A and B are shown apart, each in its own frame.
Chain A
Amino acid sequence: MFGRHSDLPLAGDATSRFLPWLVALMVFLAAMAVSGAFAVNEVMSRWDHDVTGTVTVQVLPAGGERAEAATDERVRQAVDLIRAVPGVLAVKALDKARTLALLEPWLGGTDVVRDLPLPRLIDVTVDPDARIDLAEVADRLSHAVPGAALDDHRVWLSRLINLSRTMEWLAIVVVGLIGLVTSATVVYATRTGMAVHHDIIEVLHLIGAHDDYIARQFADRAFVLGLGGGLFGLAMAVPALSALGWAARRLEGGFLPSIGLPLAGYVVIGLLPLLAAGLAMLTARLTVHGALARMP
């Protein structure tokens, strides 16, 4: 063990059986959670990108007398309503010429069209950082202004964005939770392991070993056990993650073009075994010093 002499049992005791497996399990779970959080973040930023920009509102032409004026009034109302929504940067009603230009591929460029009561379009520019609930805006709009409707596709995207924001938030909470539980488990496993070795600690103490001599050995041991377990957990996590990623890519057919981990993710996951081992080492050290302090 680092070429240093050790007076500790090398195998077969409860610590050396438990600690590595526990650390392996914890590192495995933490790796899963971390890469899950990164993947969610990735997906979300993609979707976010898709939804930035503008939303289109259509207002159907009113019928009856003074149809043109009534339609104008509807457009005004819709513009007012949308302008009042926080997070909306600009609202611009398209004039008839622009609407016609947009419809040209559909209806052809004939003069006849010019006299038709066409639907009007309103361009809405949305602050990409604001969390506008477009579904709710669409609802209000259709109630307040007859014939006005928000572009359906964008409403869906907005819902997706909100969902992915939720998922990102949940992922962070879950990662935090698993991190906490991991640390607690490593600490607990190490402490329990030390309790089993109380007798060895006492004999070494009575023989005249310095506290540091004893604590160092246990700390080295816990580090090695923790690192071994952590590397094993990592070794299990890598193929599991690849398999999941591969399966996800195959199944969803292009919706999440690639949920490959960013570099930061690899670094964090690669550090997990070291973190776990370090935690085990520190715990062992403190536990042994604590036990020694209670001896005369």
Chain B
Amino acid sequence: MADIIMPANMENFDRLMDFIQVEAENAGFDKKLVNKIRLACEEIIINVINYAYPDKEGDIEIKCNSNKDGSGFFIKIIDWGAPFNPLAKPEPDINAPADEREIGGLGIFLVRKVIDKFDYTREGNSNILTLFKYLS
């Protein structure tokens, strides 16, 4: 188990990402899976930085944890911004031609693609996103 909380801003982006990378490596993921975990977490972290606190500063918390039988790894990403359920977002049209495609909208789509389980809950005034990835 490891846990980090700090202000959700770009200055802390590398520290948050490094924290996750080391935890994923320690949990035993190979390089390719570590990068998938980084990808999923980056997309969520960037959204918290960009959207969770529109007119104030706020924190982000990341908790990493192997599951009981050691077959997988949980990452919880928590913010205290307005309620937002990323699972409720419609998927972008990834087949749209480049000229019509909106720049953006891919983030949550990619999270779904690389993560094995994905859960959202609102608890009190916090948004809790739980990502789960099997070790292999």
- Please say whether chains A and B are actual partners in one complex: no
Chain A residues close to B by CB (< 8 Å): none
Chain B residues close to A by CB (< 8 Å): none
